[in-house]
Structure 1
Amino acid sequence: MIPNSKSIELKYKTWVQIQTYLTKSDLVIVPIGAIEQHGMSCPLYTDALLAEYFALKVGFDNNVLVSPTIAVGDSLIHLNFPGTISLKPTTLITVIKDYINSLYIGGFRRFLVVNGHGDNYGCILAAFSELGNELSGMRYFVKDFWDFPSFREIMQTEFGDSNGGHADATDASILLAIDDTLVNKELLSNEFAKVSYWISRDLVNELYTKSGVINANQKLASAVIGDKLITEAVNGYSKLLNELTK
């Protein structure tokens, strides 16, 4: 997705190359996403793909290593939709802890976590809370890509209240900007839940969604808007990287 991204991807390096990198920097970018339904128009890999894309773009622009994506997240509520793969929150916390601890043992101390799935956020913070108690000298940011003020301003301006749920026009717009073959435009949906309270998985199709889209109008999506959103997310993450280097 990012030309020449192999130059900053940890998985393509040898341990000797990592050792050399660590003599100059102990900073690494960690993308975390999910494999879950995103309506009838967008791929199961959407959350992981977006987290990975932003991580690689920011890493390449700033010459910072990017670790392999933790692709599976907490997607329990979407398991009624075929293809969704989920970890329990307790499992995800353990996975993140083991993953980050491995990087820490290898010499990394500064972590920028690019999160692409909202339900992961609490698990990530819980994992880092425990890691922060167990490990010394660690610095980190955990940030959802949609949580930068300038990013949210574009979402509100372009989509208004028809955005911000699940599988929304924001996700679809960014996918269109990255590679429009990833989106089946003819199947973009507009669907809002019947209730506002949280429900158990057996009630998802009855009260939340038939298509998989929840509280969003995907039909407002466009690649032009996606490009604007990408710019704001990349700029936001780059500023966080600069903070971590201080």
Structure 2
Amino acid sequence: MKKAKELIYMTRDEVKKAIEDFPVAILPLGATEQHGHHLPLGVDIFLAEGISRKLSERTGAMMLPSLPFGYSWVWRDIPGTVSLQQHHVESVIKDVAHSVSRYGIKLLVLINGHDANNASMKYATRELMDELSLPVIYLFYPNLQLRMQEYCETPSWHGMIHACEFETSMMLALKPELVDMKKAVREYPEQPKLYGKSGISLGEISKSGVYGDATKATKEKGEKMLNVFIDEMEEMMLEAYKEKICLSHI
């Protein structure tokens, strides 16, 4: 397998050659926030980076430095959290797109590891449609609920993933040295009636910071899900690139 093309380790000449070979850039999007007592605050960064790196290895796309902060308002009072406003995340995505479009990138792929970044990706992509000829696609664990049904033993907490069997399994596959399974717990907090309809936040309703059952996580589950996600993301990336190239010749 080829080595990932990570921008921060490349010279300007290497970047120029990489763009000539395959003009696609990947931007990993993460967050810095609590993930229970058994996982580090950088989970969303590590997962987005790990997937992006493997996609770069497979395709030759250039991997940009990851965005380490996202919209993490719900954990704002827990030590270590760094939260950007939602519209700031959107603005950073747009600025990155405008930057890479100037020197030959033909497709920007956003690989997200943090659920709350999805709104920023969506609206940034829509606005960029009217500003640039550079297409942008945004990916967050394709068919997530289906894959969890296939590979996880335990259900999600109302469709959400956070420090649970899913994320812990993914971390065991990508960064096992940062996972302390002795501290993994199971917690499905009761959902307040006004949750999602008021200012009640996740940080107020979970004692452990876990939403699900982290004790059932395994490296094997993580590796299986990781491979499926990467296959699906690679297919979508190449389809988007193919469409861009075809449209440019019309």
CA contact (8 A) 1:191 1:209 kept: yes
TM-score, normalised to structure 2's length?
Answer: 0.87
Correspondence list, 1:20-169, <5 A: 20-136=17-133, 138-145=134-141, 148-149=142-143, 152-157=145-150, 158-162=152-156, 164-169=160-165
TM-score normalized with structure 1 length: 0.89
Q: Which residue, 169, 176, 185 being the options, matches 2:172?
A: 176
Counterpart Cα distance in 2 of 1:71 and 1:205: 20
Instruction: Show CA shifts across 1:199-234 (max 9, x none).
Output: 526x5454x2011112x1111101110110111111
Encode CA deviations 1:87-131: one digit per residue, 9 max, x unaligned. Answer: 010111111111221111222120111110010000111112112
Give the aligned residue type for 1:200: G
Q: How many residues align?
A: 236
Which has more helix, going by share of residues?
1
Unpaired segments ≥5 residues, structure 2: 243-250
CA contact (8 A) 1:8 1:59 kept: yes
Q: 1:89 to 1:169 in 2, by over 3 A?
A: same
Per the TM alignment, residue 25 of structure 1 is displaced from its structure 2 partner at its CA by 2.5
Give the whole-Å Cα distance in 2 for the aligned partners of 1:80 and 1:212: 12
Distance 1:12 1:57 in 2: 16
